[in-house]
């Protein structure tokens, strides 16, 4: 098992509070978000990492190497981080997606027990906060067996069971199909789309289980109010 963290973005919506600091380097607890993600993975025996960087690349690399050795991490650079999104970042890392992989958006804070929930299943899984969603959230629809039937912002609110929180476990057999759809997305010039677009194309041919976050705390840091909420959740 390895882990990939997509950490290339600029986090423009938080600049007024962060002074331009990359979101993964933001400290909510006594650790930065990305240090927390890495240490959580290490605690479950994951020791190899792929980290996609872009904005303030040198700073983020140095920050990661405070907790990992150079042998433990491969850095993939997205030079077009200002004009692309997670579909392109994941596409750039495609050559390293050759075995079971934990996936993280680089701005997600979570209770470590959620990784255990993902990893206890043999198949591919995504974490979903079961709730009523808003229009802008990445929504998930499932069938009666809790397998994902659709994922994305454009899913109707009536079909949604909750929000994908940016953490998943993709097994090797799913990754090979996912890479094919990432390539199709790039050929269609969808560089600024989200990686969930490629996952959505796979849903009718692959079984990806939606795993509920339950009562465990988790939050994606996008807006200033998310920082306030994250501090309430994780600094108890």
> What kind and span of H or E run contains 109?
strand 108-110
Please provide the distance, in angstroms rounded to a whole number, between the alpha carbons at the two ends of the chain: 31
Q: pTM of this prediction?
A: 0.95
pLDDT score at 138 = 95
pLDDT score at 46 = 95
Pick the CATH number of 2-234 from 3.40.980.10, 3.30.720.110, 3.90.550.10, 3.40.50.2300: 3.90.550.10
Q: Is 143 strand, coil or helix?
A: coil
33-43 vs 57-64: helix axis angle to the nearest 10?
40
Q: Which positions of the chain have pLDDT values less than 70?
A: 16, 236
pLDDT score at 236 = 65
pLDDT score at 13 = 72
pLDDT score at 136 = 86
Beta bridge partners of 4: 50, 103
d(C-alpha 57, C-alpha 54), whole Å: 5
- Domain locations along the chain: 2-234
Q: Are 23 and 11 in contact (CB under 8 A)?
A: yes
Name the residue with tokens 């958006």. 105
pLDDT score at 64 = 98
Q: Are 126 and 168 in contact (CB under 8 A)?
A: yes
């Amino acid at each position: 098992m390895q882990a990939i963290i997509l950490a290339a973005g600029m986090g423009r919506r938080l600049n007024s509070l962060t002074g331009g600091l990359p979101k993964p380097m933001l400290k909510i607890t006594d650790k930065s978000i990305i240090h927390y993600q890495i240490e959580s993975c290490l605690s479950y025996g994951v020791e190899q990492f792929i980290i996609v960087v872009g904005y303030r690349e040198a700073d983020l690399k140095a920050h990661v190497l405070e907790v990992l050795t150079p042998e433990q991490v491969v850095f993939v650079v997205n030079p077009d981080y200002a004009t692309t999104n997670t579909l392109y970042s994941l596409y750039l890392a495609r050559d390293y997606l050759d075995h079971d992989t934990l996936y993280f958006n680089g701005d997600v804070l979570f209770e470590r027990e959620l990784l255990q929930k993902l990893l206890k299943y043999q198949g591919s899984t995504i974490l979903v906060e079961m709730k009523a969603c808003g229009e802008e959230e990445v929504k998930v629809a499932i069938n009666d067996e809790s397998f994902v039937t659709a994922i994305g912002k454009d899913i109707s609110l009536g079909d949604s069971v909750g929000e994908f929180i940016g953490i998943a476990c993709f097994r090797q057999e799913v990754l090979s199909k996912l890479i094919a759809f990432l390539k199709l997305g790039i050929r269609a010039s969808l560089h600024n789309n989200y990686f969930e677009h490629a996952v959505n194309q796979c849903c009718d041919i692959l079984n990806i289980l939606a795993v509920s976050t339950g009562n465990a705390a988790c939050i994606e840091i996008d807006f200033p109010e998310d920082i306030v909420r994250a501090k309430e959740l994780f600094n108890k």
